[in-house]
């Protein structure tokens, strides 16, 4: 189910319509301004989303671990709902909220960025990426034991010294692993991006370009195969780095 389609995509990336194999399909994608915009847009969106989700999600996850059982259960339930509420419904909700004729737009008289633009997509994606980052990294935060902080206080270490020499080095591999997963997930999202693509000035993405080129009868499937293989390579590279991060983090488990 996974290997055979992947092999077919790799084959179609290098197969030529006249027979034989070559790099013509890849060269066409590299020479296409639309494809390059889509690749750059996906990479930029993935980098920004992973960074913002980490910067906002890591402190949120740490606060949740310090809550009492009732408060922790409430926030975990909320995070589960938000992380799974993605797709067409989420996109429609943001269009109805901050779109050109959205509720907040009409009530406040403020022109929000188009939900299909780069800024708008970042707002929409953060809705489910931050909860997902929290759920991914929350179990790892239990590695940092309270005994270590108490031992640091006994040794007259400041809170900053504890986080600099103990807390951050221990949690860094787990946080980096979460960053990589959010990056990989973001560049592969299609449903939300497809629903937002009809907005004015919508951002070009790899997944959207794959869907668009499949509708074309001229160099459609070959271009989609090249872009799909690129997504596969990005996912494989991110997965390899993810495994390295977890291997480094395993010594604390």
Contact (CB, 8 A) for 171 and 144? yes
pTM for this prediction: 0.87
- Count CB atoms within 10 A of the CB of residue 10: 15
Task: Give residues with Cβ within 8 angstroms of 169, minimum separation 6.
Answer: none
SS3 for 219? Answer: coil
Measured CA to CA, the distance from residue 147 to residue 154 in angstroms comes to: 10
Task: Give residues with Cβ within 8 angstroms of 157, minimum separation 6.
Answer: 165
Measured CA to CA, the distance from residue 182 to residue 132 in angstroms comes to: 8
Bridge-partner residues for 106, per DSSP? Answer: none
pLDDT in tens, the chain (253 residues): 889 999 999 998 998 887 788 888 889 889 889 899 999 999 999 999 999 999 999 889 888 888 888 888 888 888 888 888 877 888 888 888 888 888 888 888 888 888 888 988 999 999 999 999 999 888 877 777 778 888 888 888 888 888 888 888 888 888 898 999 999 999 998 888 888 887 767 888 999 998 888 877 555 788 889 999 999 999 999 989 988 888 877 765 5
Measured CA to CA, the distance from residue 235 to residue 228 in angstroms comes to: 11
* Residue in 32, 137, 33 with CA at minimum distance from that of residue 83: 137
Q: Distance of CA 103 to CAs 93, 125, 179, Å?
A: 10, 20, 33
Measured CA to CA, the distance from residue 148 to residue 167 in angstroms comes to: 9
Residue 144's pLDDT is 77
Q: Distance of CA 249 to CAs 53, 148, 165, Å?
A: 20, 17, 15
Sign of CA dihedral 76, 81, 85, 90: negative
Q: Distance of CA 215 to CAs 166, 206, 221, 224, Å?
A: 54, 15, 9, 10
- Count CB atoms within 10 A of the CB of residue 191: 14
* Residue in 210, 185, 49 with CA at minimum distance from that of residue 121: 49
Q: What's the length of the chain?
A: 253
Q: Distance of CA 232 to CAs 10, 123, 207, Å?
A: 10, 26, 12
């Amino acid at each position: 189910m996974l290997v055979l389609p992947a092999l077919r995509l790799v084959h179609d990336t290098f197969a030529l319509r006249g027979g034989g194999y070559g790099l013509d399909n890849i060269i066409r994608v590299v020479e296409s301004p639309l494809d390059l915009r889509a690749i750059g847009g996906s990479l930029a969106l993935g980098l920004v989303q992973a960074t913002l989700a980490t910067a906002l999600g890591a402190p949120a996850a740490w606060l949740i671990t310090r809550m009492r059982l009732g408060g922790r259960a409430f926030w975990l339930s909320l995070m589960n709902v938000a992380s799974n509420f993605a797709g067409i419904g989420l996109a429609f909700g943001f269009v109805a909220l901050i779109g050109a004729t959205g509720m907040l737009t009409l009530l406040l008289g403020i022109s929000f960025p188009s939900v299909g633009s780069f800024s708008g997509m970042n707002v929409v994606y953060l809705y489910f990426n931050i909860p997902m980052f929290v759920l991914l990294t929350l179990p790892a935060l239990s590695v940092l034991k309270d005994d270590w902080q108490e031992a640091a206080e006994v040794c007259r270490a400041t809170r900053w010294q504890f986080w600099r020499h103990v807390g951050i080095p221990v949690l860094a591999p787990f946080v980096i692993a979460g960053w990589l997963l959010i990056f990989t997930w973001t560049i592969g999202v299609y449903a939300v991006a497809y629903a937002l693509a009809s907005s004015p000035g919508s951002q070009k993405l790899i997944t959207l370009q794959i869907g668009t080129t499949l509708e074309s009868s001229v160099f459609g499937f070959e271009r989609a195969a090249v872009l799909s293989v690129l997504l596969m390579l990005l996912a494989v590279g991110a997965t390899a780095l993810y495994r390295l991060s977890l291997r480094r983090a395993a010594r604390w488990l």
